[in-house]
A and B are shown apart, each in its own frame.
Chain A
Amino acid sequence: MFMSLLLNFYRVMTRIRTFERAAYELYTGGKLPGFLHLSIGQEAVSVGACLALRADDTMASTHRGHGDTIAKGVSVESAMAELFGRVTGTCHAKGGSMHIADFSQGILGANGIIAAGVPITVGAALSAKYRKTDQVALAFFGDGATGTGVLHEGMNMAMLWQLPMIFVRQNNRYAESTPMVEHTGIVDVVQWACGYGMPGVRVDGNDVLAVYDTVSKAVERARMGGGPSFIDCETYRWYGHNIGDPGTWRPKEEIDAWRAKDPIARLKIKILEDGIAGEADLDEIEAEEQARMDAAVIAAEAAPKPELHEALEGLYVDEQLGQMAIRGVRS
């Protein structure tokens, strides 16, 4: 059980990195439109947290959401097609990188607005309680969300209503370009969780097992009716804020130090040292994921673009009223 869990971590983390490396190459090669925010370096947080959830648990992510959404179950095939703007994309080419959502997998959406997923997740947790299920809801947000009002509103509400919710801060050190010391008055935001009366813990966000164990405990507590938790994951994004920002304005020693803490390499060492699998097994996983990704890219690029009329469709459920609203003419 434990062995297969670790290998699964390795597989999904590799899948995410393979996806984002492919996206990087395609974007810089001029093949992808829009914005692209890479989470390379943060895979342990996405995977450790999402693999602690059940399929019917819900999760909301951020603008840097490839890793979170893939970890929660979106297929790389549909996500890559979405990046290409193809009809086979997760959101039928309406959303793009910042809005990948797969509700069949409990993904309430990546989100282009900082911390906007927090109140939505509060609502999903409230809904689980209302419907008397034992589902939990998990909100990812970054250190850039630390100073937003809705994060604090959400922590208060979740505690007030004892919601089955987990707040997971992906502290990758920079809000776009601004370090924590320039936007937050205290260093240890876990104190805030204590201030709201909920359990809070800091974890090494580049240690997938530590993230998984910590989130699993929070999930278990939430499922049992024990209320919300706050988990602060320390990690780092290897690249800049988005593609177009090389990220070289950060100190080189800092980047090198964090690259040395590569969460995938660390897991690999753990797996090899514990004798869970051999080098060849891990190479095989990497080769399988790379082959899957290569095929996904080819399929995505070959898939059709949406027809122009589709821009005017899919806004409202009620088609007749919706067309009246969109076109201004009674249909």
Chain B
Amino acid sequence: MSALPQTQNTTPTTGKEITYRDAIRDAMSEEMARDPNVFLIGEDLRDPWGGAYKTTVNVSNVYGNDRVINTPIAEESIVGAALGAALTGLRPIAELQYLDFVMRAMDAVVNQVAKVRYMSGGQVQVPLVIRAQGGGGRSSAAQHGNSLEAWLCHVPGLFIAHPSTPYDAKGLLKTAIRLNDPVFFIEHKMLYMTKGFVPDGDYTIPFGVADIKRRGTDVTIVANSRMVLYALEAAEILAADGISAEVIDPRTLVPLDENTILESVHKTNRLVVVNEAVERCGWAAEVAAMVQKRAFSDLDAPIERVCARNVPLPFQPELETFVLPSVADIVQAAKTSLYLA
């Protein structure tokens, strides 16, 4: 392989320590200061409430209600109106309170936002960010804990960001806001209170550049969003057993930094893909298909997938934990790929 990408931006260990939630808020707030055409639209965004997950606290206090627009509960119209604004010179950030609710907005997202540039022969740009948080882990049950990233990755015309750390969340969201293409930005409800360092001042993280969260030599673990934290925990456990796992976070699912994954597999000859969504037709299958096609001869073992079981998320906490991928599942999958299980 040649022309390998420079993976960069490994998570800083100094700077200002903030939560993932504040990283999201700061990215939006700083971009609103930079550009008066950036505004927020969605449900329950204004102070003092500041969003269902408090990602917009103290934004309307600073920028006023004209730039933080509370809407009726009407997801298709939230996204459709944001599109209309994006087509007429503004740079909206639309929030869907739960990723699950994108199902109410699917025509606007898929048929309108993603396609209008292409269908019009490139006449327009769509500088629009749609934010939503997904994922399980807090007994939110079957309609408030979906991981629908694969649905969105399936739509030509969108970019998809899915960050796991405060540093990545802030840098990627700033990039998303500055891009002139529509970005679906997926957060995770269980990450909002996690902390990490961010640099002082302005920075951005490019799309399509994976981050190697942990270096290793024996097995490659590709994970996204909250599953990156699980993969890092699994890597610690594996290390105690003398297994060196490399953990790769693609950070954006579309575009996907394929080369960083391929280079790692070239080194480790083994791949585990971890994704919180149900396994069938999921994002892990797409990564596995890509790797078997482009690096078949590098593989010494079948590619392992660690995903949720193919059922809706149950409410009861033990059942939910049973259905979702676990750190132990990742450890097991890594050992299986090394023929140690």
Q: Which A residues lie within 8 Å of B108 (CB)?
A: 116, 119
Q: Which A residues lie within 8 Å of B200 (CB)?
A: none
Interface-side segment among B110-118, B133-141, B221-229:
B110-118
Closest chain-A Cβ to B125's Cβ sits at a distance in Å of 5
- Asked if B328 lies at the interface with its beta carbon under 8 angstroms from chain A, I say no
- Asked if A314 lies at the interface with its beta carbon under 8 angstroms from chain B, I say yes
Q: Say yes or no: B85 contacts A330, CB within 8 Å.
A: no
Q: With A123-B84, A314-B121 in contact, is A328–B77 under 8 Å at CB?
A: no
Write the A92-111 contact mask toward B (1 if CB under 8 angstroms, else 0): 11110001011110001101
Q: Say yes or no: A328 contacts B84, CB within 8 Å.
A: no
Q: Which of B77, B90, B119 contacts A99 (CB 8 A)?
A: B119
- Asked if B156 lies at the interface with its beta carbon under 8 angstroms from chain A, I say yes
Closest chain-A Cβ to B68's Cβ sits at a distance in Å of 12
Closest chain B residue, CB of each to CB of A322: B181
Q: Which B residues lie within 8 Å of A277 (CB)?
A: none
Cα–Cα distance between A36 and B108 once the two chains are bound (Å): 23
Interface-side segment among A146-154, A218-226, A236-244:
A146-154
Residues of B within 8 Å of A, CB-based: how many? 53
Interface-side segment among B12-20, B23-31, B54-62, B250-258:
B250-258
Closest chain A residue, CB of each to CB of B260: A330
- Among A277-331, those with CB < 8 Å from B are 313-318, 321-322, 324-326, 328-330
Q: Say yes or no: A315 contacts B157, CB within 8 Å.
A: yes
- Among A128-153, those with CB < 8 Å from B are 128, 130-131, 137, 149-150, 153
Closest chain-A Cβ to B7's Cβ sits at a distance in Å of 12
Q: Say yes or no: A123 contacts B39, CB within 8 Å.
A: no
Q: Say yes or no: B84 contacts A102, CB within 8 Å.
A: no
Interface size range of chain A in the complex: 35 or more
Q: Say yes or no: B72 contacts A157, CB within 8 Å.
A: yes
Q: Say yes or no: A124 contacts B77, CB within 8 Å.
A: no
Cα–Cα distance between A118 and B122 once the two chains are bound (Å): 22
Cα–Cα distance between A92 and B118 once the two chains are bound (Å): 9
Q: Say yes or no: B156 contacts A123, CB within 8 Å.
A: no
Closest chain-B Cβ to A160's Cβ sits at a distance in Å of 7
Q: Say yes or no: B208 contacts A324, CB within 8 Å.
A: yes
Q: Say yes or no: B71 contacts A326, CB within 8 Å.
A: no
Closest chain-B Cβ to A156's Cβ sits at a distance in Å of 6
- Among B73-108, those with CB < 8 Å from A are 74, 76-77, 79-90, 92, 107-108
- Asked if A113 lies at the interface with its beta carbon under 8 angstroms from chain B, I say yes
- Asked if A62 lies at the interface with its beta carbon under 8 angstroms from chain B, I say no
Closest chain-A Cβ to B253's Cβ sits at a distance in Å of 10
Q: Which A residues lie within 8 Å of B255 (CB)?
A: 321, 324-325
Offer 27 A-B interface pairs, CB within 8 angstroms, sorted by A.
A89-B121, A94-B119, A95-B119, A95-B120, A108-B87, A111-B112, A113-B112, A116-B107, A119-B84, A119-B108, A124-B88, A149-B74, A150-B76, A150-B80, A153-B72, A153-B76, A161-B69, A315-B156, A316-B157, A317-B181, A318-B179, A321-B179, A321-B208, A325-B254, A329-B258, A330-B5, A330-B258
Closest 6 CB pairs of A and B: A123-B84, A119-B80, A92-B121, A123-B81, A324-B255, A91-B121
B-to-A contact residues, CB < 8 Å: 3, 5, 39, 66, 69, 71-72, 74, 76-77, 79-90, 92, 107-108, 111-112, 116-126, 156-157, 159, 179-181, 207-208, 254-259, 290
